[in-house]
Amino acid sequence: MPQGCIHFRHPYELGGAAYCASMIWAQIMPFVALSFYEGRNKEQLQILLLVSVGTWLVLNGLFFAAIDRSYMHTFFGTKTAPQYTVELFRTSTLDNAKFRACFTNTRSYIAECEEEVRAWMEANYEILVGEEWFIVAKVPDDFLPRRILDELNEAAVGGVREKLQPTTISELKEVVITLTTVDTVTDIYVIYLYKENGLHSNANTMIAMISLNTLIQLLIVLAQNKKKGWKTVLKEGLITVLFMRPFVDAWRVRNKHDDSETTADPLTEMIVNKATELATESIPGCVLQLYVLLLNPSLGSGSGAIISIIISAFMTGLTSTMIAFDLDTNATQRLEQPNFCGYIKNGSEQRGRTFLLMTMISSLHNLSRSLGYAILAVVDLNLALKFFVGEVGAFLLYKMLRRDFYLWARLEGVLSVVMALFSRTLVKVVVDFTVSGKVCEARDEMKCIIWGLSLIYTSFD
């Protein structure tokens, strides 16, 4: 069932078993929603859902036939984040992968192998310290060889070496939800269509979604270019307001645009912008359009509303597939995580076929899932909310029962709970509605998201 964010099957996020359960439930949920629905078009909706599920099953079969089946277990496994981290440390042949597993994740992930990590550091410190990726400030005192710790403390100002401290609640004052992309042009058309048919409240809701997305991206522009002059900020702001941001971001990433004065690299900026657009337009926009269409079947007679929904679902599927595809085929990620990255076979023909299947499955999944929630909303908005809370709550309970609730990020205190709750919920929504994936590093899908939250805050710093 490769949809709903393939890379979020990673043990650091949902994990294979929860991912599999979410995908199956995503196909069942629309039929459950339909059982509450008593509209005149109920029979047509039932046929549509049956065709959708049938097509979904066929596409999944083709997908699993196209990938490297030695990675099949990653779609159904029960491995937790700590178990995966320990395995990565013990089995990796790359020192940088071992270092990142031990010292860029929360310490609790390596509790089982702490003595092994100390022994590894003792035996290899002189070699590791010469590597570009080795940052001694990330290593806790008790993992450093005693002689090295003494030398570092003696050389440091005040007699205590500098260390990277975990983030605390005082360092993040504002949280903004982020996620993927949608075709703004079709949204504008839908607003016009709703206005023409007297659906002013629905049109205003769409305008609010677009406005929120634009506002957040403008804040990102301020933070990204805070070292530059007002002319640059104005130019970047116009790019955002004129809806040219996706094209400019893509051009900069493709051409490896380098600007030392910006806060983040082009790839990270692009992911944050796409994330913002998904959260504020794509997911709620598709559900809203289906909801309005069910309440006003006459809108479908002109085909414009239906085409807009299809384009929205397709663009979400295409973009999220590109993210997951690029990450899995990334040479560095395959070297560092050979047991997880690599399910897409090598060869242009095989990769092209897999990419097409992923896009089709993702688009169909997004459409089916959105339709389920739209049907629930037509029956009762409170019922739709109860379903959402129930789904997310069940997932969070699953994570807590497995002692796998906290994030990989090195956080402390209340912030560790708040960010775990926020990010787990966010990832669950992404899995349920899109095929995103992460273009940040393979082991930490939320790194770009956390960066985005911090970036928004820095614009006011």
At residue 392, what are phi and psi to the nearest 5 degrees? -65, -40
Q: What is the pLDDT of residues 2-11, one digit of tens each?
A: 555 576 777 8
415: which 2 tokens? 């912030």
282: Cα separation from own chain's centroid: 13
Question: SS3 for 128?
Answer: helix
Say how many CA atoms lie within 13 Å of 281 toward its Cβ. 30
Amino acid 2 reads P
Q: Which run of H or E residues covers position 359?
A: helix 348-379
Q: What is the pLDDT of residues 124-171, one digit of tens each?
A: 888 888 788 888 778 888 888 887 777 777 766 555 555 554 443 333
Provide the whole-model pTM.
0.60
Lowest mean pLDDT among 150-164, 277-291, 391-405: 150-164
**What whole-number distance in Å separates Cα of residue 144 and Cα of residue 134?**
13
**Of the candidates 105, 108, 116, the residue with the CA atom closest to the CA atom of residue 124:** 116
Residue 251 pLDDT more than 80?
A: no
447: which 2 tokens? 């790194």
pLDDT at 143: 84
Contacts of 267 by beta carbon, 8 Å cutoff, 6+ apart: 253, 439
- Transcribe 276-301 into DSSP letters: HHIIIIIHHHHHHHHHHHHH-GGGGG
- In this structure, is residue 98 part of a structural domain? no
**What whole-number distance in Å separates Cα of residue 226 and Cα of residue 233?**
8
Residue 437 pLDDT more than 60?
A: no
- In this structure, is residue 149 part of a structural domain? no
Amino acid 46 reads Q
pLDDT at 445: 44
Q: According to the per-residue pLDDT averaged within each range, which of 234-238, 401-405, 410-414, 421-425 is highest?
A: 234-238
- Span 385-398, mean pLDDT? 89
134: which 2 tokens? 């080795």
Are 375 and 30 within 8 A, CB to CB?
Answer: yes
Q: Which run of H or E residues covers position 157?
A: none
**What whole-number distance in Å separates Cα of residue 438 and Cα of residue 205?**
29
pLDDT at 200: 92
Q: Which residue has the higher pLDDT, 118 or 137?
A: 118
pLDDT at 443: 39
**What whole-number distance in Å separates Cα of residue 192 and Cα of residue 186?**
10
Residue 346 pLDDT more than 70?
A: yes
- In this structure, is residue 120 part of a structural domain? no
Q: What is the pLDDT of residues 180-206, one digit of tens each?
A: 444 667 888 889 889 988 999 999 999
**What whole-number distance in Å separates Cα of residue 162 and Cα of residue 168?**
17
- Transcribe 326-354 into DSSP letters: HHHT-HHHHHH-TTTS--SPSSHHHHHHH
**What whole-number distance in Å separates Cα of residue 205 and Cα of residue 210?**
9
- In this structure, is residue 55 part of a structural domain? yes
Question: SS3 for 91?
Answer: helix
- In this structure, is residue 337 part of a structural domain? yes
Q: Which residue shows structure tokens 């409240």?
A: 201
- Percentage of residues of the chain with pLDDT beyond 90: 9
pLDDT at 359: 84
From start to end of 87-150, where are the E strands?
A: none
**What whole-number distance in Å separates Cα of residue 371 and Cα of residue 34?**
10
- In this structure, is residue 241 part of a structural domain? yes
Q: What's the burial of 247, exposed, middle or buried (CB within 10 Å: 0-12/13-18/19+)?
A: exposed
pLDDT tier, 446 (very low <50, low <70, confident <90, very high otherwise): very low
Domain count along the chain: 1
- In this structure, is residue 122 part of a structural domain? no
How confident is the prediction for the chain on average, in pLDDT?
78
Are 461 and 176 within 8 A, CB to CB?
Answer: no
Angle at 181 between CA 178 and CA 186, to 5 degrees: 130
At residue 142, what are phi and psi to the nearest 5 degrees? -75, 0
- In this structure, is residue 369 part of a structural domain? yes
Range of the domain at 343: 6-72+174-379+411-458
Q: What is the pLDDT of residues 79-115, one digit of tens each?
A: 888 888 898 888 888 888 888 888 888 888 888 888 9
- Span 313-319, mean pLDDT? 79
Cα dist from 142 to 101, 146, 164, whole Å: 17, 8, 14
pLDDT at 238: 92
Residue 208 pLDDT more than 90?
A: yes
